[in-house]
Amino acid sequence: MYIKGKDELADAVIEGLQDKKGHRIVVADLTGIEDTVCRKFIIAQGGSPSQVHALAISVGDKVRQLCQTRPLAVEGMRQGIWVAMDYSDVIVHIFLPDERSFYDLEHLWADAELTEIPETD
């Protein structure tokens, strides 16, 4: 279960997504599942390739500012369809709506606890 204030990295990612009006932010908590690639997936979407790109830049800036860390890898920035940012324990996925529906990462791990983050104004 995601609880604001308990995970500095996840909080910074979510703040970066909210700063650029990311939509449908979901935290998939994988900590209780064996043999996972990370502790959390944070999934969000943008309405256009330029917004997906802006969301990824915002996440990188916010995490660097608040956590003094950088992602191990970032993929998909050129296309702006699906950007994946690997922070080791947290992997951020930012999609366009059609790609998010197609890949359905929220349900990739059936046992993951999902927390929907309310959108900001």
DSSP structure string for 50-87: HHHHHHHHHHHHHHHHHH----SEEE-TTT-SEEEEE-
So what's the pLDDT on residue 4? 66
pLDDT of residue 2: 58
Please give the single-letter amino acid code of residue 100: R
pTM of the model: 0.92
| C-alpha–C-alpha distance, residues 72 and 44, integer Å | 19
Strand, coil or helix: what is 43?
Answer: strand
Q: What is the pLDDT, as a whole number, of residue 112?
A: 86
Neighbouring CB atoms inside 10 A of 120's CB total 12
Instruction: Please report, for the chain, the start and end positions of each structural domain, with discontinuous segments joined by +.
Output: 8-104
Residues with pLDDT less than 50, the chain: none
Q: Are 1 and 29 in contact (CB under 8 A)?
A: yes
Check residue 18 and give its pLDDT.
96
Q: Contact, 56 vs 94, CB < 8 A?
A: yes
CATH no. for 8-104: 3.30.460.10
